[in-house]
């Protein structure tokens, strides 16, 4: 039963009880009662999880505690009451020793703007043995809000309340309720207009002024109706036309006085949800819909002939006759005659003709009944679109432009031959190992666009603040030599210091050696500019940073904000307000909880900046463990686009008060348990370091068990510790454990993290990251980690995961792509550029994984300028490295791959305690291993590799090198 129904029932039962005692509700108001129980309550501060709601939850074992003094605890009574006393209780258990609290009592009358004193400050003694830790403060006055102000507590560093009772008598006020909700027709079909009706009643003791009633279907407001003034006891009937609805079941609710313009005795009973759902049936007739589109090959090369198949279903009640199925892709339109499809049947249409794959990729749109010969019960579900990627890497919607390839006036920075990292080496951390430094006024970098654009992203570096913590500074944007606007650049999330390679051993405190020097700034522009436009970043007189280093820009034509989909309910319905700087977490959480509970069908995050300071999750009713680690399930969250619907946090996650989640997971983003779809939003964190050094860790954008049925698409995550961490250890609430299975991530844009981009762990299987981009991650951009913290180590092994058509740039720590154990995992069609210190792709058995088995496939990838030195600059890593630290790595296939301009070796077989038997390397080109060999077997490497069609050129230390002592066997050439 919905909570509003419960409250309505409670009100009815109370009235029955009063009448049986010979009292009417109005006359019963004369009896003083506790007015605080269950009412809204808030505090000026809290310590840990000792939140304000603990103080009037009816449980003396829970309590509120403030973070220092002075502090306030305010109970919102709803409307005026004549007060007699305030009772403050603490747990009477003797473990709560005697203490004295200094308290003032204040009140606010419902028409007043502020509080006045009802009882001046005094000291009150609490004693378990004396007064059972309960004191009563007599007060006289009329108030709608009651506030306690604390000035001291001899028993704790903050004010404490186990339970507060406010004793008084409500004064006459109206009280509006909705007594019934109904609809007509009683059993509509999807083509029938629906009328919603509500009975509104004033059960209060005074007249109510005119107001409105909002009607909702599936949680979305579908109309409002005026309701006139009502005398005490009066009723009125109001209706709205809700139009037609798609087939399905809808919760129907009505809310009177939604803006709270009328002061009432109880604002919590203004709504009613009908006990039964409105069922919309299917209208008679055919109805075709597209279920899916497949292509062959799935990731074609440029120039390949691609064929398609479209999966159709007739969800209607009668057969669909002859139609035409249309497939449009990259300017090509293919029409295919389609025969009859019976009611409820499915059919696969082999599309006539093929498409010649063009560079970059395209959108495939399949349409059923494309010529409109059928009269269908729903004409809005005939199309389906999805991306197809051609060649390697992601088909990103922006064009990237390198500063060194642009026109500039400034200093060109170029990396040294070893691409030295970690000693404030700007060029090493630059894309292509080059960037442009602007030292003086008038210097600039100018880019000429190849495509239309209305947005810009600038990868840049400006100085840190002298004491750390970063600065902000502007740079001037000119378009075709005309000034457009100032862009704000920031170093608040860059500049980590220290010469240690330990993941949590760096600091934000300035010193000689620095790394993670670059960050990004982005802006939507007021106008769209055509191809051939010149975008200039210029240092003008008012641009005050000591220097500006420009690495690259992205120019993108961003589509307008999407409209709210049918069936989705906006977070604004729950009180969220865009762009106001206030925390919207509670509104977002309530919307997600209602979706999870079936109250609404989908959560809509409109265009705007929405502040989020707590993780969105499921409150654990059993309070298992120190931290709440129960994720959301059966939820759909949609936004207007990653450039438009943006969540952001300002508070350092570890320091956020009232947070429920584990510190390393942070207090932003979403905790997911299963069957969750999130699309077209951005999640911007506030991280500045990976652990340590003041607990400023950024947390995780998306984390949890993930389970089955989860799909994440077009989500931008930035300044997190980790973008996405898939999996939880089995011993973390064992009854909820389950691995991620069949997960889909696509169109992800993960930037500037302090650790991993996306990590599949804890037995994740059958899951995919596709067509996504990663830049400046602080650990593996993509990883499969078959860790041992699972239910059954013989079964729960990470397997059959796929990293397909992704673009990875500039990981400043660890790998582009890594696999640690498992079987059947595939790394295909990816582009990896400019790793600082580790391989572009690595298979390894460090991190104590479950064993490798079966096959691990590395195919059709290209690696540019990968590899480097790490761990005290003592270990050199190849662009592709196999590292069997303590377990073997069997079944490796490397094929159809290019390894170009590696810092050290092209392919490296590393010394370890395990073997690498029967590695198959086919059709691989290795060119320009700058400081190493084409293929290197280290002295302690064991195993064998067979080379077929391998070409190696321009290697500094030889094409194929086996170090002395190595037993590794290399066959073929």
* Residues 309-348 pLDDT 10s: 999 999 999 999 999 999 999 999 999 999 999 999 999 9
Q: Which pLDDT tens digit goes with each residue over 554-577?
A: 999 999 999 998 878 899 989 899
961-967 CB contacts, 8 Å cutoff, 24+ apart: 961/933, 961/934, 961/935, 961/936, 961/937, 962/936, 962/937, 963/936, 963/937, 963/938, 963/939, 964/939, 965/939, 965/940, 966/937, 966/938, 966/939, 966/940, 966/941, 966/942, 967/941, 967/942
Cα dist from 513 to 423, 430, 507, 884, whole Å: 5, 17, 11, 32
Helix, strand, coil % in the chain, rounded to nearest 5:
5, 45, 50
Report d(CA 78, CA 260) in Å as an integer: 11
The predicted pLDDT at position 52 comes to: 93
- Whether 8 has a pLDDT exceeding 90, the answer reads no
Indicate the pairing of strand 722-726 with strand 700-704: parallel
The predicted pLDDT at position 12 comes to: 36
Is the previous residue joined to 297 through a cis bond, with omega within 30 degrees of 0?
yes
Report d(CA 430, CA 204) in Å as an integer: 69
The predicted pLDDT at position 22 comes to: 35
Question: Which stretch of 107-121, 611-625, 657-671, 951-965 has the lowest confidence by average pLDDT?
Answer: 657-671
Cα 828 to the center of its chain, rounded Å: 26
Name the percent of the chain lying above pLDDT 90: 82
Provide CB contacts within 8 A for 20, sequence distance 6+: none
The predicted pLDDT at position 654 comes to: 58
- Whether 875 has a pLDDT exceeding 70, the answer reads yes
Cα dist from 453 to 398, 522, 559, 560, 759, whole Å: 8, 13, 10, 13, 33
The answer to whether the CB of 299 falls within 8 A of the CB of 805 is yes
Name the percent of the chain lying above pLDDT 70: 95
Q: Which pLDDT tens digit goes with each residue over 597-628?
A: 888 889 999 999 999 988 999 988 888 877 78
Q: Mapping DSSP to helix (H, G, I), strand (E, B) and coil, where does residue 898 land? A: strand
Return the top range by mean pLDDT from 6-15, 130-139, 262-271. 130-139
The predicted pLDDT at position 13 comes to: 33
Tell me the residue length of the chain. Answer: 973
Name the band, by pLDDT with cuts 50, 70 and 90, for residue 785.
very high
Report d(CA 604, CA 592) in Å as an integer: 10
The answer to whether the CB of 685 falls within 8 A of the CB of 722 is no
For range 665-675, the mean pLDDT: 93
Name the band, by pLDDT with cuts 50, 70 and 90, for residue 695.
low
Quickly tell me which residue has 């400081």 as its tokens.
931
In three-state form (DSSP H/G/I as H, E/B as E, the rest C), the secondary structure along 349-373 is EECCCCEECCCCCEEEEEECCCCCC
- Whether 17 has a pLDDT exceeding 80, the answer reads no
Q: Mapping DSSP to helix (H, G, I), strand (E, B) and coil, where does residue 475 land? A: strand
The answer for 401, left when phi > 0, alpha when psi is -120 to 50, beta otherwise, is beta
For range 503-510, the mean pLDDT: 92
Cα dist from 418 to 2, 901, 966, whole Å: 65, 12, 26
DSSP string, 73-127: EEEEEEEEEEEEEEEEE---STTS--EEEEEEEEEE-TT-SS-EEEEEEEEEEE-
Report d(CA 278, CA 197) in Å as an integer: 13
Name the band, by pLDDT with cuts 50, 70 and 90, for residue 691.
confident
Q: Which pLDDT tens digit goes with each residue over 734-767?
A: 999 999 999 999 999 999 999 999 999 999 999 9
Question: Which stretch of 43-47, 339-343, 365-369, 419-423 has the lowest confidence by average pLDDT?
Answer: 43-47
The predicted pLDDT at position 625 comes to: 76
For residue 326, the tally of other CB atoms under 10 A from its CB is 21
The predicted pLDDT at position 937 comes to: 98
Sign (positive/negative) of CA torsion 34, 40, 45, 51? positive
Question: Whose CA is closest to 589, among 649, 668, 698?
Answer: 668
Cα dist from 40 to 287, 318, 588, whole Å: 49, 54, 18
Report the chain's mean pLDDT, rounded to a whole number.
Answer: 92
Name the band, by pLDDT with cuts 50, 70 and 90, for residue 444.
very high
Question: Which stretch of 63-67, 657-661, 891-895 has the lowest confidence by average pLDDT?
Answer: 657-661
Spell out the alpha helix ranges (H) of 253-383: none
Provide CB contacts within 8 A for 762, sequence distance 6+: 705, 726, 727, 728, 729, 730, 739, 740, 787, 789, 790, 796
- Whether 14 has a pLDDT exceeding 50, the answer reads no
Longest dimension (CA), the chain: 102
């Amino acid at each position: 039963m919905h909570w509003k129904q419960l409250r309505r029932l409670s009100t009815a039962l109370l009235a029955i009880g009063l009448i049986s005692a010979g009292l009417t509700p109005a006359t019963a108001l004369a009896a003083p009662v506790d007015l605080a129980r269950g009412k809204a309550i808030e505090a000026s501060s809290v310590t840990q999880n000792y939140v304000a709601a603990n103080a009037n939850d009816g449980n003396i074992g829970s309590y509120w505690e403030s973070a220092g003094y002075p502090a306030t605890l305010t109970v919102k009574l709803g409307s005026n009451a004549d007060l007699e006393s305030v009772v403050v209780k603490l747990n009477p258990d003797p473990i709560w020793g005697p203490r004295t609290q200094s308290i003032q009592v204040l009140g606010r009358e419902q028409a007043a703007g502020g509080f006045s004193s009802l009882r001046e400050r005094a000291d009150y003694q609490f004693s378990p043995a004396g007064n059972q830790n309960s004191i009563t403060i007599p007060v006289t006055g009329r108030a709608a809000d009651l506030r306690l102000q604390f000035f001291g507590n001899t028993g704790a560093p903050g004010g404490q309340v186990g339970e507060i009772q406010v004793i008084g008598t409500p004064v006459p006020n109206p009280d509006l309720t909705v007594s019934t909700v109904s609809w007509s027709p009683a059993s509509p079909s999807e083509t029938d207009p629906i009328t919603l009706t509500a009975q509104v009643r004033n059960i209060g003791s005074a007249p109510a002024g005119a107001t409105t009633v909002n009607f909702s279907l599936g949680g979305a407001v579908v109309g409002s109706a005026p309701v006139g003034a009502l005398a005490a006891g009066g009723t009125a009937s109001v209706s709205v036309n809700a139009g037609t609805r798609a087939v399905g079941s809808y919760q129907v609710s009505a809310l009177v006085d939604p803006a709270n313009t009328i002061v009432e005795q109880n604002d919590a009973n203004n709504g009613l949800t009908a006990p039964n759902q409105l069922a919309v049936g299917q209208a008679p007739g055919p109805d075709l819909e597209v279920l899916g589109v497949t292509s062959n090959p799935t990731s074609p090369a440029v120039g390949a002939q691609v064929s398609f198949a479209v999966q159709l279903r007739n969800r209607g009640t009668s057969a669909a006759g002859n139609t035409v199925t249309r497939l449009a892709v990259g300017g090509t339109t293919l029409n295919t005659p389609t025969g009859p499809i019976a009611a409820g049947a499915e059919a696969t249409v082999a599309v006539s003709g093929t498409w010649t794959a063009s560079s970059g990729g395209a959108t495939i749109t399949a349409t059923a009944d494309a010529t409109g010969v059928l009269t269908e019960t729903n004409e809005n579900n005939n199309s389906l679109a999805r991306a197809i990627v051609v060649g390697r890497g992601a088909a990103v919607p922006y064009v990237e432009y390198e500063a060194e390839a642009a026109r500039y006036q400034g200093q060109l920075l170029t990396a040294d031959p070893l691409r030295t990292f970690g000693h404030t080496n700007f060029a090493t951390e630059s894309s292509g190992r080059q960037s442009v430094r602007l030292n003086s006024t008038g210097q600039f970098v100018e880019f000429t666009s190849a495509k239309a654009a209305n947005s810009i992203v600038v990868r840049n570096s400006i100085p840190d603040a002298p004491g750390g913590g970063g600065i902000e500074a502007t740079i001037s944007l000119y378009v075709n030599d005309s000034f457009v606007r100032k862009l704000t650049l920031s170093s608040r999330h860059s500049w980590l210091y220290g010469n240690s390679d330990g993941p949590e051993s760096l600091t934000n405190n300035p010193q000689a050696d620095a790394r993670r020097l670059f960050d990004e700034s982005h802006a939507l522009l007021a106008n769209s500019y055509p191809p051939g436009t010149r975008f200039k970043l210029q240092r003008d007189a008012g641009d005050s940073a000591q220097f500006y280093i420009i690495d690259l820009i992205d120019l993108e034509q961003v589509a307008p904000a999407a409209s709210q989909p049918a069936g989705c309910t906006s977070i604004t319905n729950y009180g969220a307000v865009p762009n106001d700087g206030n925390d919207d977490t509670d509104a977002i959480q309530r919307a997600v909880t209602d979706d999870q509970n079936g109250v609404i069908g989908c959560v809509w995050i409109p265009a705007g900046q929405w502040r989020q300071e707590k993780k969105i999750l499921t409150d654990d009713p059993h309070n298992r463990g120190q931290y709440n680690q129960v994720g959301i399930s059966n939820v759909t969250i949609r936004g207007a686009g990653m450039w438009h619907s943006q969540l952001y946090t300002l508070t350092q996650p570890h320091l956020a008060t009232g947070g429920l989640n584990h510190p390393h997971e942070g207090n932003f983003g979403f905790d997911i348990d299963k069957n969750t779809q999130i699309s077209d939003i951005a999640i911007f964190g506030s991280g500045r370091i990976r652990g340590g050094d003041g607990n400023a860790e950024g947390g995780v954008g998306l984390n949890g068990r993930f389970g089955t049925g989860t799909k994440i698409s077009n989500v931008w995550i930035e300044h997190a510790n980790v973008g996405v961490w898939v999996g939880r250890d089995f011993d973390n609430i064992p009854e909820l454990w389950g691995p991620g299975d069949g997960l889909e991530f696509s169109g992800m844009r993960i930037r500037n993290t302090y650790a991993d981009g996306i990590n599949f762990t804890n037995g994740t299987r059958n899951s995919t990251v596709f067509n996504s981009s990663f830049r400046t991650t602080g650990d593996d951009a993509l990883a499969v980690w078959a860790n041992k913290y699972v239910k059954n180590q013989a079964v729960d092994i990470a397997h059959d995961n796929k990293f397909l058509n992704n673009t990875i740039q500039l990981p400043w720590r660890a790998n582009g792509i890594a696999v640690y154990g498992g079987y059947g995992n595939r790394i295909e069609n990816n582009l990896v550029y400019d790793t600082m210190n580790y391989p572009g792709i690595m298979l390894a058995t460090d991190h104590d994984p479950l064993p490798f088995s079966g096959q691990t496939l590395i195919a059709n990838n290209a690696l540019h300028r990968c590899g480097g030195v790490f761990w005290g600059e003592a270990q050199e890593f190849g662009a592709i490295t196999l590292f069997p630290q303590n377990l073997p790595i069997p079944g490796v296939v490397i094929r159809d791959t290019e390894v170009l301009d590696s810092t050290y070796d092209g392919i490296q077989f590393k010394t370890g305690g395990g073997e690498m038997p029967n590695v198959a390397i086919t059709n691989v080109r290795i060119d320009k291993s700058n400081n190493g060999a084409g293929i290197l077997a280290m002295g302690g490497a064991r195993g064998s590799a067979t080379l077929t069609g391998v070409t190696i050129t321009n290697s500094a230390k030889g094409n194929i090198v086996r170090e002395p002592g190595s037993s590794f066997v290399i066959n073929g050439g």
